[in-house]
Amino acid sequence: VRGGSPGDDLRGRHVVVSAGGTREYLDPVRFLGNRSSGRQGYALASTAAARGAEVTLVAANVSLPDPAGVKVVRVATTAELRDAVLAATPSADAVVMAAAPADFRPVSVSTAKIKKADDGTAPAIDLVQNPDVLAEVAADRARPGSVVVGFAAETGDDAGTVLEHARAKLARKGCDLLVVNDVSGGAVFGSPDNEAVILSAEGEPVVVPRGTKAALAHAVWDRVGLLLEDPDR
């Protein structure tokens, strides 16, 4: 739907969207987390529903009201997010990973609250890497022709530009589209707006100018819709 007006082009499609940031618990009251608000994922879910899709929204620690007409599955950790996403993907035409899963989790979770030592020392926290849900979904491709989309916030550095890092990530993950935010200029967390470049494995990148998260969501579904209709895939 060009111009962002709601339509019906996703009718009959099932889409899975993840949103928010996962938490990895250290003990019953503490966790490692991140600042993802879940707003972009919620915008993706509500715009997909407005375009006629059946939507499963896997929400990690998001404090936003459930979007109308969307099935919401609430999760806390990356392991729970993985289980919920993989449970929904066999029937999915598209999976969009807008969530920020924690990359690491503590090796063990203490069942009792961790107490301070009297001698002023601090405990070390041993971490282990979490599974990569996006790479797993892209490798599985439960449904032939389904579309897998990732999100990435990148900065340029000595090793490469934002787009170079993003291209490498797209290839590494094996997804069809990667929505890239350039965060070199500062954080976008909690902002109502977003701007991005949508990279595809084949074809030219699409620049989405600064606008609402709903506008970016519509631009993503436009690209997903084109891939779903593509007879050569």
> Contact positions toward ligand CTP, by CB under 6 A?
78, 97, 99, 101, 103, 130, 132-134, 150-152
Q: How far is the CB of 97 from ligand CTP (least distance, A)?
A: 4
Q: Is 32 in the site for Ca ion (CB under 5 A)?
A: no
Is 132 annotated as belonging to a binding site? yes
Q: Return the one option of ligand CTP, Ca ion, none that residue 152 interacts with (CB less than 5 to 8 A, by type).
A: ligand CTP
- Please report, for residues 39, 102, 182, the alpha-carbon distance to residue 149 in angstroms, rounded to integers and kept in the order given: 17, 18, 17
Tokens of 167: 């291209």
Q: Is 134 annotated for ligand binding?
A: yes
Closest residue by Cα to residue 99 from 6, 179, 218, 166: 179
Residue 176 annotated in ligand binding:
no
Q: Which token pair is 174?
A: 């094996």
- DSSP conformation letters of 101-127: --SEEESS--SSPPPPPTT-------E
Contact between 102 and 22 under an 8 Å Cβ cutoff? The reply is yes
Options 103, 136, 140, 182; binder of Ca ion; rule CB under 5 A: 103
Q: What residue 36 binds from ligand CTP, Ca ion, none (CB within 5 to 8 A, per partner kind)?
A: none
Our answer to whether residue 34 is catalytic in this structure is yes
Spatial distance between the Cα atoms of 100 and 151, rounded to a whole number of angstroms: 9
Residues at the binding site are 103, 113, 131-134, 151, 169, 173
Q: Could you list the active site residues?
A: 34
Residue ranges for the known binding site for CTP are: 103, 113, 131-134, 151, 169, 173
What residues line the site for Ca ion (CB under 5 A)? 103
